[in-house]
A and B are shown apart, each in its own frame.
Chain A
Amino acid sequence: MLSFIARRVLAAVGTLFLSSVLVFLAVQALPGDVATQVLGRDATPDAVAALREQLKLDRPAWERYVDWTAGALHGDFGVSLVSGKAVGGEVGMYLGNSALIALITVLFAVTGSLLLGILAGLYRDRWPDHLISTVSLVGMSVPEFVVATVLVLCFSVALPVFPAVVLYGPEASVGQLLPAVWLPALALAIVMAAYIVRMARTSVIDVMASEYVTTARLKGLSTWRVVTRHALPGALLPTLHVIALNVAWLAGGVAVVENVFNYPGIGKLMLSSVQNRDLPVIQAIALISAIVYVACNLAADLGAMALNPRLRTRGRT
């Protein structure tokens, strides 16, 4: 069991290392370098050379990679070319805002959609199932920016409950942002939930038809006990990786929705950094996305281990 965990963690670290190399190389491969980016088209060659030296761009790529990763490990991602502030602090601020949305989305979307999926599976082919399945199919087919726009129309324009756009900057406090968080979170949750609902429904149906659930029923157990103790561990197993992938998808999904709501989160920062060619920031964001993906999958693997004793007891006879 310990060796299983160790192997998974090791694989996660390896994946992260590879993605950091890829991120670094991708940025290197962009035409021009940071010095020409900063100084613009009219810069004299002398000025460019001076800045290159100042930014240590004249050193070989692998040395800069080592410096960058060493810094990144301490939370130091260099300096933003646009604001001149430390990238770490700036990204952290936006990231915190996004995390607020992500947290609420995950909390509601995952629990809600799991419940709905299980419900649909248990009431297979009856009206709760038809309702849930149809609605989730619609949620799946509509892109998130459309959902977001419809939500704004409903809850900001027609029925002004939530703000349509955020008027605060990235320094806004949680209290200031909180009213604005719900609509983006809802938009993301609707899109994300669809996948989880459908997956949970299918696996609940499969497991409920299994012999061991029939056996548990014929043992005279209550439906509640049959579902929670016997059916759910097996049903959650395949759903777990769908959840992990969807949570990881949030990192990208957030970008689109944040722009609809003008929400000062990581997605917005990413877009503006790309427009401004603020390479250190792009690099940092790319690395953070990789970390989110790897962490989600690692969590799913460990969760699978908790649900499946076969993975835990390997090596025992």
Chain B
Amino acid sequence: MTATTAIVSVDSLSVAYRSGGRDVSVVHEVSLDVRPGRTLALVGESGSGKSTVAATLLGHLRHGSRVTAGTVRVDGADVFALPARELRRLRGGTVAMVGQNAGQALTPSMRIGRQIAEVGGDIPVVDLLEQVRLPRPAELARRYPHELSGGQQQRVAIAMAVAARPKVLVLDEPTTGLDVVTQRGVLDLIGALRDELGLAAVLVSHDLGVVAHMADEVTVLRSGRIVEAAPTGRLFAAPQDPYTRRLLASVPRLDDAGLALVGEAGEREVRPRAVVSDASPVAVSARDLTVDYGSSRAVTRAVDGVSFEVRRGEVLALVGESGSGKSTLAWALAGLRAPSGGAMTHESGDLAGPARKRPLSLRRRVQLVFQNADTSLNPRRSVGDAVRRPLRFFGTAGSRAEAAARARQLISDVRLDPAFVDRLPAQLSGGQRQRIGIARALAGEPDVLIADEITTALDVSVQADVLRLLDDLRRERELACLFISHDLAVVRGIADRVVVLRNGVVVEEGPTDAVFADPGHPYTRQLMVAALEPDPDTRPLVADAPEWTDAAEPDDVWTELGDGHRVRRWSPLAREGVA
């Protein structure tokens, strides 16, 4: 051990889960040390055991799991040998945890102030809320969790964690559910508190951008075993293990000029974007589309005067934070939500009506793939059924035998083994389920595919595969694809053109390369500043975004930058007191 001794020390820890009378090993001989003031990141894909290891620092194991070997020592105490009373003192007092989903981690029936106060410690709640930079702390303390935004809830969870001034902070995917801009704010806060309070931190994350930004050391886990452990700089610059290399290579970069294909040893090859000819017909277009939510008394305009068109074989990305209206737009196009104004047209007809009123031939041509493949497939139906159903429904397969054959074909089209037809969704991995979701959408032989955050819930390597599949399919089938995402790096790789939405309004649009090379709108810049790259030495793509205000006039909305790249008019906002 170097200068200071480790405050957290995990020594050949093994954890097993009992299932069907057998022990299933979830963590295997994991060792790690964290010194005060340092941050260790646990990185891995789902099922790697990273959250399990992190939770052991608080002496917590999931129902049915147990430690089969090794020790976990925190601040000198053997966590799993502590009597109940001592363990309680350790939790909150010495080690505190910030979980992934603050919305679910806060007790809904209890005021925020009380939830923070019951941790103990001598610091007044108001001071704690101020420390996590929440506005009007005294008033906020009297609120209930549901009255706060996601970012605010996560700040409250952080305040709760540092209330008793612990020595170790365990952060389990602390920003995974948050928007890029909010994520950046929360990470900056965590970093500041960690330095201010001299905390040792263990950060669990699947997001290598977050890890590069936050951690001093990184431990890469795979199937419960340590694959590689190294200081952050060295790990990102010269990963040793092929798995680490592959993992790093799978992360889409903001400066990729196309989709990266990742080889077995982690070599990257960027495939140039498909060329969409100007002659290819416009498959679907929207003009001055508005969508409203709520009753006639309180209308919220989710989408406000948006126009776009997508050609055959082209991928148009809709980018924005949650609440920007991008999903609402997708739903309107799919006919699941009635627009309140404007027009939507498909090559072969008007898309004004809701899905159930569109003629069958039109309906099958516009298909939607959902974000969450787990919940959009019927858990009691085989995946073959899920694909066969639209085949029969849209009449694209005549007989029963033909439908069965087509279903197998579609399943192999999405690069899965056709033998999967008889499996249930629960027997598939997340990425495989999402492929089935795509196969189901393809069953109607659509020419417009709406992909609503389809890779958000997936691990990076799986995400790369699904993106690759989508890119292949649009080339093979000349699909017009509306790709909705909040992840700029993903968009950079797959989209031909980008539309940036903010509060239902288009602030910038243009060819992907042009927008990324020279973002014209401060909001686009803000998104790019907040995006984190998997490289600790990376310089941001753009400098800081200026404060701004909208300056669009009804007949003078756009600043044209050429080649279809245009930016909504804005003017800089003078900051008071700043020279």
Using CB atoms and an 8 Å cutoff, list the residues of chain A in contact with chain B.
209-222, 225, 229-230, 233-234, 307-310, 313, 316-317
Contact = CB atoms under 8 A, between A and B. Distances in A.
A244 B287 CA distance: 53
Interface in B153-179: 157, 160, 164
A214 B146 CA distance: 18
Interface in B75-117: 88-93, 96-97, 99, 101, 104-110
A148 B407 CA distance: 60
Contacts of B147: 313, 316-317
Nearest to B97: A218
Given A219-B160, A220-B90, A225-B118, A214 B60 contact: yes
Contact of A217 (B63, B91, B109): B91
Find the residue from B109, B110, B120 having the highest chain A CB count within 10 A.
B109
Given A215-B99, A219-B119, A309 B108 contact: yes
27 contacts: A210-B104, A211-B99, A212-B104, A212-B108, A215-B97, A215-B105, A215-B106, A215-B107, A216-B107, A217-B91, A218-B58, A218-B91, A218-B92, A219-B118, A219-B160, A220-B93, A221-B92, A229-B107, A229-B118, A234-B108, A234-B109, A307-B109, A309-B109, A310-B108, A310-B146, A313-B144, A313-B147
Given A219-B91, A225-B118, A317-B147, A211 B104 contact: yes
A220 B92 contact: yes
Given A309-B144, A313-B144, A316-B147, A221 B105 contact: no
A233 to B, nearest CB: 4
Nearest to B90: A220
Interface in B116-162: 118-120, 144, 146-147, 157, 160
A42 B96 CA distance: 88
Contact of A310 (B101, B119, B144): B144
Given A209-B63, A220-B164, A313-B147, 8 more contacts: A211-B105, A212-B104, A215-B99, A216-B107, A218-B60, A219-B96, A220-B120, A309-B108
A273 to B, nearest CB: 46
Interface of B: 58, 60, 63, 88-93, 96-97, 99, 101, 104-110, 118-120, 144, 146-147, 157, 160, 164
A317 B63 CA distance: 38
A211 B109 contact: no
A316 B142 CA distance: 13
A218 B59 CA distance: 9
A124 to B, nearest CB: 9
Contacts of B107: 212-213, 215-216, 229-230, 233-234
Contacts of B108: 212, 234, 308-310
A229 B106 CA distance: 12
The list of the 3 closest CB pairs from A to B, nearest first, reads A220-B92, A220-B91, A233-B109
Contacts of B157: 215
A210 B145 CA distance: 15
A316 B58 CA distance: 37
B90 to A, nearest CB: 7
Contacts of B92: 218-221
Contacts of B160: 219
Contacts of A210: 104
Contacts of A308: 108-109
A150 B92 CA distance: 53
Contact of B88 (A212, A221, A229, A313): A221
A230 B110 CA distance: 8
A222 B104 contact: no
A212 B118 contact: no
Given A212-B105, A313-B144, A217 B60 contact: yes
A222 B88 contact: yes
A214 B109 CA distance: 15
Contacts of A309: 108-109, 144, 146
A309 B110 CA distance: 8
Contacts of B97: 215, 218
A313 B105 CA distance: 20
A310 B350 CA distance: 41
Nearest to B63: A209
Contacts of B106: 212, 215
Nearest to B58: A218
Nearest to B163: A219
Nearest to A317: B147
Given A310-B146, A316-B147, A220 B119 contact: yes
Contacts of B60: 214, 217-218
A95 B164 CA distance: 57
Contacts of A219: 91-92, 96, 118-119, 160
Contacts of A217: 60, 91
A314 to B, nearest CB: 10
B146 A220 contact: no
Nearest to A312: B144
Contacts of A220: 88-93, 119-120, 164
Contacts of A221: 88, 92, 118
A307 to B, nearest CB: 6
Find the residue from A215, A222, A316 having the highest chain B CB count within 10 A.
A215
Nearest to A209: B63
A304 to B, nearest CB: 11
Contacts of A316: 147
A138 B490 CA distance: 58
A214 B58 CA distance: 11
B243 to A, nearest CB: 30
A217 to B, nearest CB: 7
A211 B102 CA distance: 9
A234 B110 CA distance: 10
A210 B147 CA distance: 20
A103 to B, nearest CB: 29
Find the residue from B96, B105, B146 having the highest chain A CB count within 10 A.
B105
A217 B63 CA distance: 14
A316 to B, nearest CB: 7
B167 to A, nearest CB: 14
A211 B172 CA distance: 12
Contacts of A317: 147
